[in-house]
Amino acid sequence: MSAALASPKFEALPQTNAHVPSTCTPNRFLGRQPILDAERNLFGYELLYREGKTDHFSGDPEVATREVVDHWLMLLPDSRQGAAFVNCTRNAIVDGFVTLLPPESTVLEILEDIDPDPALINACLSLKAKGYRFALDGFLPRPSRAPFLALADFIKVDFMTADFLVRREIYALASGTPARLVAEKIESDAQLRIAISEGCSLFQGYFFSQPILVESHRVPRNHSVYLSLLAQLQQGSTDLRKLGKIIAGDASLCFRVLRLANSALQHHPGAITTIGEALLMIGEDALRRLITVAVTGAIGDRCSSALIAMILTRARFCELIAPSLREDPAELYLLGMLSLLDALLQMPFPRILQSIPISNEMKLALAGDQSPAGLSLALVRGLESCDWARCEEIQHQLGLAEGAIAAAYTQALRWAATMTGENQPPQTRS
């Protein structure tokens, strides 16, 4: 250990694990079945809720829609993968949960058991004005569903349940609309040929591919933050400043907010450096929807308190030393919160950074540059791993006093323990 850092101040510090703790959280599953054109080129995917490693739906449709929306938002889908067809309940459309997904690549499927009503039609018209497209799932020629035809961009024809006479009625109704016909549940070459001859231009079914199961790790959540958010939402009015402080205590929510802000920034180039800026960008309505969807997914989740504590410690430490570095404390706090996203999402950092609207300076700091922000991250990593030589080197580069570093780190550990509901800061096994 370096003599400069072998003082009682540093020796007395509670130490965290040098390695990122395992998330120890359950995985989540999403079925994804391709939709192809007549030349078998990929047009998009239908996203299918799965409770586990099964090839069928089970569960509550409302929960399923929210889980699919949240899962797809967190998966960082590549826009080159085509359109995402998402099954929607009436409530998901009317309450606007689906607006968490980007309109340019999302097709909202109105389920076959939903009938139109004024509130639903108005919500659909509002969503179409924002650029969302609609598909009528398993459409049947029932008079009650006729009002949906004017909204449809796609009409899905179920070749398992609709015989020729029913399909002919569907085609007659669709002829007066610009909607494309999607033949679904195609299971043989003969069915494909019939669908093409009847005017269908898109195709989906086991003949092409069974749903591909997409598995990802749930992001650990700080349950105390979710409880605070629920209490805040029940008060009626939303105080963005107060919510921002609460959201800053959970890395998964910070990431969701930045992802949503990224969509809002698509037509307004810029960068976001704090959670407060992101909340102003997405607005109160979108924030309430995001929180509701995220809280739904958090119910029953087991989170890794060690990983959460490490993230919060980094964020708080960077925030505390920011004034000494003449940096914005809010920006360095966010930097610390983002520094373990690759471990949280089990994804490479370059892919993650492409999807969130932060400045190039912050991206370079996360990549480990020699700026004060980048060095502040390197310093807290050195403290985590007891790399005293590296800590001493960075201490001199930043011009910080050893006592100030020790005090900030101790305060950060205690604060993180309080935020996660732990009585003591996380300890390392010797």
Per the structure block, which two tokens stand in for 154?
């796609």
| Mean pLDDT within 247-254 | 79
More confident call, 162 vs 68: 162
Average per-residue pLDDT for the chain: 77
* Cα angle: 409, vertex 415, 418; to 5 degrees: 145
Q: Please tell me the distance from the alpha carbon of residue 137 to that of residue 154, in angstroms, as a whole number.
A: 9
Reading the block at residue 190, the tokens are 């003969």
Q: What is the mean pLDDT of residues 45-53?
A: 67
HSE-CB of 143 using CA atoms within 13 angstroms: 0
* 28: helix, strand or coil: strand
Under DSSP, the state recorded for 358 is: B
pLDDT at position 73 over 70: no
| pLDDT computed for residue 26 by the predictor | 46
Q: Which of 122, 146, 126 is nearest to 136 (CA)?
A: 146
Which tokens go with 73? 């938002």
Tokens describing residue 203: 């195709």
Among 39-48, 171-180, 219-228, 295-304, the range scoring the smallest mean pLDDT is 295-304
pLDDT per residue over 104-144, tens digit each? 889 999 988 888 999 999 999 999 999 999 999 988 888 88
Segment 198-219 shows an average pLDDT of 71
Q: Is the pLDDT of residue 215 over 60?
A: no
Confidence of residue 11 (pLDDT cuts 50, 70, 90): low
Helix (H) or strand (E) holding 203: strand 202-203
Can you tell me the mean pLDDT for 374-396? Answer: 91
Q: Is the pLDDT assigned to residue 393 strictly greater than 90?
A: yes
Give the Cβ contact number of residue 306 at 10 Å: 20
Say what the pLDDT of residue 429 is. Answer: 34
pTM for the model stands at 0.58
Contact at 8 Å (CB) between 125 and 151? yes
Say which range, 159-168, 212-221, 302-311, has the weakest mean pLDDT.
Answer: 212-221
Say whether pLDDT at 51 is over 80.
no
DSSP string covering 394-424: HHHHHT--HHHHHHHHHHHHHHHHHHTT-SS
Length of the chain, please? Answer: 430
**Across residues 39-64, what is the average pLDDT?**
67
Q: Is the pLDDT of residue 6 over 60?
A: no
Could you tell me how many helices (H) and strands (E) the chain has, helices first? 18, 9
Q: Where are the domains of the chain?
A: 3-21+219-419, 27-216
- CATH number attached to the domain at 27-216: 3.20.20.450
Residues with Cβ within 8 Å of 190's Cβ and at least 6 positions away in sequence, in order, are none
Q: Which CATH architecture has domain 3-21+219-419?
A: Orthogonal Bundle (1.10)
Higher pLDDT, 291 or 272: 272
Which residues are CB-neighbours of 113 under 8 A, at least 6 positions away?
none
What pLDDT, in 10s, does the model give residues 260-271? 777 665 555 567
CA dist., res. 174 & res. 155, Å (int): 8
Longest pairwise C-alpha distance within the chain = 87
pLDDT one-digit tens code per residue, 368-384: 899 999 999 999 999 98
Least confident window among 73-87, 162-176, 318-332:
73-87
Three-state SS letters, 86-103 = EEECHHHHHCCHHHHCCH
Compare 30 and 264 and report the one with higher pLDDT.
30
pLDDT of residue 272: 79
Q: Label residue 198 exposed, middle or buried (CB < 10 Å: 0-12, 13-18, 19+).
A: middle
Between 195 and 224, the more confident residue is 195
Residue 302 has pLDDT above 60, yes or no: no
Calpha distance 387→144 (Å, rounded): 70
d(CA 65, CA 56): 15
* The pLDDT value given to residue 269: 59
Please give the residue that has the higher pLDDT: either 351 or 139: 139
The CA-CA-CA angle for residues 141, 83, 341, to 5°, reads: 135
Residue 312 is predicted with a pLDDT of: 81
